[in-house]
Amino acid sequence: MSVQKIKAKHAEEEGLPRNRYCRNCGALCCKDLSMAIGKPANKKEIEELKWQLQFDAIKVYIRKRRWYQLVESKCMYLSRDNRCTIYDKRPDKCREHNPPDCEYFGKFYDVIFTSPDELNRYFKREKRKRKRK
Ligand code: SF4
Ligand code: SF4
């Protein structure tokens, strides 16, 4: 489904005008932190990432061939009713994060890993693909 269709679907479901998306989503983007990481380049780095994936709060995803680590954790400036308490002074990273390129509007990743096993399987598949070439 295209991003426009996802947006329209959400607006329809929520019965909200488009400029009110953020108010209704529960501030998903203030409850996780995404950091660019390099693709693990050797066995040691793969083992390190597998170890990180043992922890509930950690996920790893690939988007447009770039790798990211996702940490599920709430920003200290988010109020109990999911509002930014420093909205006018919020960091640039927050200002750049907008619908539809965000967690609320569907897939923000091409591949996601939530456990060491999933990462293992991914690298096994990659190895098989390389062998076939
Ligand atoms: S940018 Fe997306 S994830 Fe963040 S509050 Fe708005 S709709 Fe929700
Ligand atoms: S500073 Fe505000 S907009 Fe940025 S993550 Fe925290 S609560 Fe969300």
Q: What is the pLDDT of residues 8-50, one digit of tens each?
A: 555 554 444 444 667 778 899 999 999 999 999 999 999 999 9
In short, whether 102's Cβ falls inside 6 Å of ligand 2 is no
For residue 12, what are its two tokens? Answer: 């329809």
How far is the centre of ligand 2, averaged over its atoms, from the C-alpha of 73 (Å)? Answer: 12
- The SS3 call for residue 41 is coil
pLDDT in tens, 53-75: 999 999 999 999 999 999 999 99
In contact, 116 and 51? CB cutoff 8 Å: yes
Ligand nearest to the CA of 84: 2
Q: Is this model's pTM higher than 0.85 or not?
A: no
Instruction: Quote the pLDDT of residue 106.
Output: 72
Task: Determine the atom of ligand 1 nearest the C-alpha atom of 27.
Answer: 5
Q: What percent of the chain has pLDDT over 70?
A: 84
**Residue 65 belongs to domain spanning:** 3-132
Q: Whose CA is nearest to atom 4 of ligand 2?
A: 94
- In this structure, the strands spanning 32-37 and 111-113 are unpaired
Between 39 and 95, residue with greater pLDDT: 39
In short, whether 33's Cβ falls inside 6 Å of ligand 2 is no
Per-chain mean pLDDT for the chain:
85
In short, whether 102's Cβ falls inside 6 Å of ligand 1 is yes
Q: How many domains does the chain have?
A: 1
